[in-house]
Amino acid sequence: MPQELMYLTKEWRDEAERRLKNELTPEKMNFITSSMSNIYLNCPDGKNKYLFFKFVDGKLDTLALGEGEPPDAEFRISGDYQVFAMISRAELGSQKALMTGKLKLKGNMVKALKLAAIADRLNKVLSQIPAQY
């Protein structure tokens, strides 16, 4: 059994970056140029964290993990750490989390709709990282 990494640690981020670069080709990412920040509220250590993704022409350019205010991004998804954890464990769909208000999206919904399938591909890769929450 592969080693489980602590969710949202530097080790988890590094593994996420490796997998995203290996598994999501520019073709699979529709050659998009866009950015997104996931904002994790009420993390187990009591802090708020972010995970910032930037893709340029379909290639992962930046994956940044941090605390406090994230860099400016085209889309900003915020919610409780536990909600993101449930999504990562496939216990909750990201669409349902948005439709029930558990997650909040800031950004242009028309553009977001175009990127919905891509976001699902990205989430699927992240959900396959063995992790502890």
The CB-of-98 to other proteins minimum distance in angstroms stands at: 4
Return the bridge partners of 60, or none: 55
Judged by CB under 8 A, how many residues of this single chain contact other proteins?
A: 17
The CB-of-14 to other proteins minimum distance in angstroms stands at: 30
- For residues 128 and 121, the answer to whether their CB atoms sit within 8 Å is no
Using the rule CB under 8 A, which residue among 98, 118, 119, 125 binds other proteins?
98
Q: Could you write out the three-class secondary structure of 77-130?
A: EEEEHHHHHHHHCCCCCHHHHHHCCCEEEECCHHHHHHHHHHHHHHHHHHHCCC
Q: Which is nearer to other proteins, 1 or 110 (CB)?
A: 110
The CB-of-54 to other proteins minimum distance in angstroms stands at: 18
- Residue 85 as a binder of other proteins (CB under 8 A): the answer is no
The CB-of-22 to other proteins minimum distance in angstroms stands at: 31
Other CB atoms within 10 Å distance of the CB of residue 122:
21
Contact set with other proteins (CB under 8 A): 78-79, 97-106, 108-111, 113
